[in-house]
Amino acid sequence: MTARRVTLIPGDGIGPEITEAVLRVLDAVGAAIEWDEQLAGVAALERTGSPLPEATVESFRRSGVALKGPLTTPVGTGFRSVNVALRREFDLYANVRPAKTILHGGRFEDVDIVLVRENTEGLYIGFEATIPVGDDPRAVAQSNAVVTRRGCERIARFAFEYALQHGRRKVTICHKANILKAVSGLFLETARNVAREYEGRVDVNDVIIDAAAMKLVLDPTQFDVIVTTNMFGDILSDEIAGLVGGLGLAPGANVGEGAALFEAVHGSAPDIAGKGVANPSAMLLAACMLLDHLSQSAAADRVRGALEATLLDVEARTPDLKGNATTTEFTDALLGRLG
């Protein structure tokens, strides 16, 4: 198999440590990837003066696919977020966040949910303003959500196509159309229209967002694929990660028409950076999503199997999972299970 060029952004904080672990594992399974390592975040700011150097953007533009570690958003630079900038630059409109039970003994044993979040619209576009009243220059704050029919349609279609391609049975549309009748109403109306095209192939229902949050913690098995808007998806995806052990086990993908970026969705954890105790599981699972995207699913399945077996071994777990293993010890244990 010809190696595929992939942009690699190790990230900040614990990013380089977990990236090193991932590269060892992918090399062990013979992943056909040619890495192009680039900088972003604080590491890039310190070395180049920019948190998102043009060389990184150009590398991603050429490769069309990237694996990214956690990034720290620089404070006081006027740069809002490297993650947001990459989504906007490459129109990565679909955020895919799977959550599946690996560790057992918790409240829920069989969580298997994929959340599909619209990634480019809603409140997060940042159309904000303050309005002075009297002597108070910030007496009123205003934030505008912008939702387009095109944006709603393409994320809904993405969710239904994902369900078909991955053998999923149902898509749940999460919204707040009972109160936000314009922006959430347009999302619900458009998603329902798209759903009609999949009638008889994928089941569909819709749930108000606050009810969905409650239902998830009562019985997550009633959900399969969830599709929702930007801010609601941001909140629900972290809640869903909590059902399976937290963000340390949560991978994510940001997908557009011509590019896809795979990432560990947790933060850069500067408090433990350099201590050798970071958990690489989220980035390993993101790397498996990358391998699937590159039609290297056999390698992805090998990594997933070895990772799950390693996580079930209490002696191999890192401190965030109530173990005592270092990052290197965890990775060595995983590599031993690859055979």
Q: What is the CATH number of the domain that holds 24?
A: 3.40.718.10
Number of domains in the chain: 2
Question: Same domain for 287 and 224?
Answer: no
* Catalytic hit among 68, 93, 176, 198: 176
Distance of CA 293 to the CA centre of its chain: 14
Question: Same domain for 115 and 72?
Answer: no
Which pair of structure tokens corresponds to residue 123? 């409140």
The neighbour count for residue 298, using CB atoms within 10 Å, is 10
* Catalytic hit among 91, 203, 224, 238: 238
Question: Same domain for 233 and 151?
Answer: yes
SS3 at position 51: coil
C-alpha distances (whole Å) from 121 to each of 79, 140, 311, 331 are 19, 23, 36, 38
* Residue where a domain stops, chosen among 243, 260, 278: 243
* Burial readout 273-289 (b: 16 or more C-beta within 10 A, e: otherwise): beeebbbbbbbbbbbbb
* Burial readout 174-191 (b: 16 or more C-beta within 10 A, e: otherwise): bbbbeebeebbbbbbebb
| Confidence (pLDDT) at 75 | 61
Question: Same domain for 179 and 80?
Answer: no
| Confidence (pLDDT) at 125 | 87
Contact residues for 192 (Cβ-Cβ < 8 A; gap 6+): 173, 204, 206
Which pair of structure tokens corresponds to residue 241? 């990660």
SS3 at position 80: coil
Question: Same domain for 259 and 238?
Answer: no
Which pair of structure tokens corresponds to residue 40? 């972003």
Which pair of structure tokens corresponds to residue 166? 């991955």
| Confidence (pLDDT) at 14 | 97
Q: Identify whether the C-beta of residue 12 lies closer than 8 Å to the C-beta of residue 19.
A: no
Note down pLDDT in tens along the chain; length 339 residues.
799 999 999 999 999 999 999 999 999 999 999 999 999 998 898 899 999 999 999 999 999 999 999 998 766 555 668 888 899 999 999 999 999 999 877 788 899 999 999 999 999 888 999 999 999 999 999 999 999 999 999 999 999 999 999 999 999 999 999 999 999 999 999 999 999 999 999 999 999 999 999 999 999 999 999 999 999 999 999 999 999 999 999 999 999 999 999 999 999 999 999 999 999 999 999 999 999 999 999 999 999 999 999 999 999 999 999 999 999 999 999 999 997
Question: Same domain for 81 and 125?
Answer: no
Q: Is position 206 annotated as part of the catalytic site? A: no
| Confidence (pLDDT) at 281 | 98
Could you list the residue range(s) of the whole structural domain that residue 174 is in?
Answer: 104-243
Q: Is position 271 annotated as part of the catalytic site? A: no
* Catalytic hit among 12, 36, 234, 320: 234
Question: What's the CA gap between 153 and 119, in Å, rounded?
Answer: 13
* Catalytic hit among 27, 210, 219, 275: 210
* Catalytic hit among 93, 124, 162, 198: 124
| Beta-sheet strand order (sheet of 170-175) | 33-37, 4-9, 65-68, 260-264, 251-255, 94-100, 112-118, 225-228, 170-175, 203-208
Question: Same domain for 130 and 238?
Answer: yes
Question: Same domain for 205 and 284?
Answer: no
| Confidence (pLDDT) at 79 | 61
Question: Same domain for 185 and 82?
Answer: no
Q: Is position 238 annotated as part of the catalytic site? A: yes
What are residue 248's phi and psi, to 5 degrees?
-70, -10
Question: What's the CA gap between 140 and 130, in Å, rounded?
Answer: 6
pTM: 0.94
Which pair of structure tokens corresponds to residue 231? 């801010």
Question: Same domain for 33 and 136?
Answer: no
Burial class (CB in 10 A: 0-12, 13-18, 19+), 48: middle
Question: What's the CA gap between 173 and 225, in Å, rounded?
Answer: 9
| Confidence (pLDDT) at 76 | 56
What ranges in the chain are assigned the alpha helix state H? 15-28, 42-48, 54-63, 82-89, 149-165, 183-196, 209-218, 230-243, 281-293, 297-311, 327-338
Q: Identify whether the C-beta of residue 287 lies closer than 8 Å to the C-beta of residue 26.
A: yes
Residue with tokens 């340390």: 248
Question: Same domain for 112 and 183?
Answer: yes
Q: Identify whether the C-beta of residue 225 lies closer than 8 Å to the C-beta of residue 216.
A: no
* Residue where a domain stops, chosen among 186, 221, 243: 243
* Residue where a domain stops, chosen among 195, 225, 243: 243
Question: Same domain for 150 and 191?
Answer: yes
